[in-house]
Structure 1
Amino acid sequence: MNEIALPTREEARALTDRIKIAVEGTWQLIREAYTSRTWAVLGYDTWDAYCTAEFGETRLRLPREERQEVVASLRDSGLSVRAIAAATGNSTRTVQKDLQVSSSTTPEIRGTDGKTYIVTREPEVIDAELIDEPVSPEPPKVKRRPLPEAFTDAGRDLTRAAERLARLTEDDRFARNRETTHHQMPELLGALEHTTRLVQAMNLPAANASEEARRWWATSLHKISDALTDVANSLEKEL
């Protein structure tokens, strides 16, 4: 029997980071497929039918701790309990329990009809007809997580994900595997677009910040812009 060649610690870490990135990308694509009603465009009557027919048993089964985080993330993106259950392959009861454990308190969800609804109650016994209720004239106030706290955590998650990707470019195997990364460009460009909209929404010119901070922000943004412009210009030259 041949002995299995164990990877180095660096190789093991790089592989693990690639798996994490792939998993995170999978759930991002699921969110996009739901919110864009991709399933309807492909001719499916329901999101459930789309998930079953297209993915079946290939749906990723996550440990409870990771599943709860994924469920909370999908809920924050606007998916209903029923839609999350179809995407993850879990029951609506399991999804409901995961949401109760997580800190997700987003009141708005997007139904499979493309309309936005507000959850007005969380029944203890899951009933498919009670999971998503239409917006009522006077919806009850729902205690939401403080925005500064949620913003800080989201920013840290973004930084960690970007750092993992940057570390992979420093791997000695990256050069010979560069071609295999190009299929990720739609997701990466989408992340850049989201980040750009975020920076614009922050209205930095009106921020109560020091002159030094403003100068550093401007310098950093120019550096990023120049680097991306160089890549775009190089692409156009090859056309």
Structure 2
Amino acid sequence: MQDIELPSHDQARALTDRIKIAVEGTWLLIQEAYTSRTWAVLGYSTWDVYCTEEFGTTRLRLPREERQEVVASLRESGLSVRAIAAATGIGYGTVQREVASSGDPSGSPEIQGTDGKTYAVARPEPEPNIWVQPAEPDFERMVTPPAKPKRRPLPEAFADAGRDLTRAAEKLARLTEDDRFPKNRDTTHHQVPELLGALDHATQLVQAMNLPAAQTTEEARRWWAASLHKISDALRDIANSLNQEQ
């Protein structure tokens, strides 16, 4: 491998400065070629064709860190976004973003079109401050208050609860008829507080129903009264027995 003879510091600096001058001069020449319509004089139908045919293989590619500065300079010289894209090889959308991020969304107040005429650049209207809902799938659920559950019609709910109460009471009553109940009677006493609580709730329920004001037959009223007396008498007997045992 042949040894490379390194330049001196002064030689390296001189070469670098020449490159910088050449690069800066290139963009100045491009500006002049566009504004003077050199491309049209040479017979090209458009600036884009001129750039592609003349510089397609040798076009200088801008480093990313220098791109915004060069684009802004060309824009200030009057080149349109499309003309800058053709000259630099940068995509049209990229040039638009670089122009917008340069601090002046419209660039130069005037640009020269490919027809040689000068046009004023309309400044874009500011985008309205419109709130856009995030796309997260759970966002709407998180910010939407939970809907109140729809209540069932009271008569329907009351009837179902009454049937549940009847089935539970009948099940307990059947257990007392089991032949094993007498031997296990003492083990059921710890359930007395719960059963008395259920009786108390049932009493409150009957009172809330306001049976004396019910629109029903006299026969039904007599049956209700007889049933309540029977239940009351049975409970009174149990209470009296407990008092006598003390």
TM-score, with structure 2 as normaliser = 0.48
Larger radius of gyration: 2
TM-score normalised by length of structure 1: 0.50
